[in-house]
Amino acid sequence: MEIRELEPKQLWNKFADLNAVPRPSKHEERVIAFVMDFGERLGLETINDEVGNVLIRKPASSGMESRATIILQSHLDMVHQKNGDTSFDFNAQGIEMYVDGEWVKAKGTTLGADNGIGVAAIMAILESTTIEHPAIEALFTIDEETGMTGALGLKGGLLKGRILLNLDTEQDDEIDIGCAGGIDVTASRDYNQVALFPNAQGASITVKGLNGGHSGMDIHKGFGNANKIMNRMLYNGLVKFNIGLIEVNGGSLRNAIPRESTAIVAVDASQWDVFLNSINADIEDIKIEFKTMEPNLTIVVEPTQVSATMMEPETAGKILNSLYAAHNGVYRMSAEIPDLVETSNNVARVNIKEGKIWIGCLTRSSVETSKYDLANALHATFSLAGCEVALSGAYPGWAPNVTSPILALLVQVYEQLHFEKPKVVACHAGLECGILGTNYPGMDMISFGPTILGAHSPDERANIISVQKFWKYLLEIVRQIPSV
């Protein structure tokens, strides 16, 4: 079946239109123009603020004028991740989608359902002439995935509504009332390159086939981190064989658990067979450890040509030690909310090449003091390796409000439609609600959405039946918004 034939057609058609427009984070110019043109063609008040966010206002439908104005909010950008063997240019191509049973997927790339389904739902409501709704402020933010600069740059006073529905969570039986904040921890330094030792044999090491996933929502699942797995092998190689470290390239985006890593090293040719036996034994150990969570993990070691230089051994030892020591994964579980990750870190990016080292981490927490505790621990770890360490891009979490009036309405509507209670949760992902609340204190905010699995990875997929459920739920919430 074609995407545009799926129900609800108005939503899926808007999603198909949106996904035809390249929209990776930091490169949203075309999707901003696309949404601006959409609002203007509908004859609606359409505003592009100074940082790039788009606001479209639609008056209440007949008979709904006395209802409270609502803000429908989603972000325009998408995570641009692809499989290593997929040829795709996110800056020039639209996403190639297909239907696979009950799921919509993309061919070798992220799908952009995060947060494109939310954007498409809002666009479908704005375009409709039959959906009952109060006055709407449709807020489309930019750059949520790589810094939340759209939400951070949204000025107070622009929005008039006091109820905000954020359509950016990924389990259709959950209503989200809180989220984690985050901070980027970046370590960098230069290093001296020295001549390779005599009789050097080059080796390329590739780690691939990992699940990857969202560095907040999936961080507790025990998935492998390609950077940590690669570093483990490099560390063992340095300790056992004094390998020469030439280059490492692992991971991509700060908010995606790394799926792949490659490295080039040198080993004394006379030790090649022993080296291979040793590293293959390490590989088998790692595969056994991850056999349940990462059945497709592949680690390949092959001979290769190498340059004439390598990292000076003393620096190589310090960097591999620091990466081994750097915390990755869950740091602390919440003491207040069962099963909620409070604090975590994702060792997201490692790039070592031609005299330059760059390591990028994203630390998340719903508790500000714990966030900085872990960030400071990482700062100390990388400082010991001689790196300059920067803490940047900090954004606040969103404190839960269990007495929220809009929460009460969403729970009531869910029970009316499904004859069971929804799960009221806080999440470990970063949602824009916490940031928006700083300039709009007292705004009543809630977040919900359809079931989307594998977000931030090429395995991302949206459940078709769940999207139908989400659409029906959203329309009923909009219809039941109370009077002012």
The catalytic residue positions are: 77, 144
Q: Which residue in this structure is represented by tokens 């080993």?
A: 267
Which one, of 377, 399, 401, lies nearest residue 389 by Cα? 377
Contact at 8 Å (CB) between 150 and 35?
A: no
Cα separation of 171 and 207, whole Å? Answer: 30
Q: How many CA atoms lie within 13 A of 322 on its CB side?
A: 28
User: Phi, psi at residue 42, to the nearest 5°?
Assistant: -80, -5
Are the C-beta atoms of residues 3 and 104 closer than 8 Å to each other?
Answer: yes
**Cβ-contact 78, 23 below 8 angstroms:** yes
**Pairing between strand 423-425 and 174-176?**
parallel
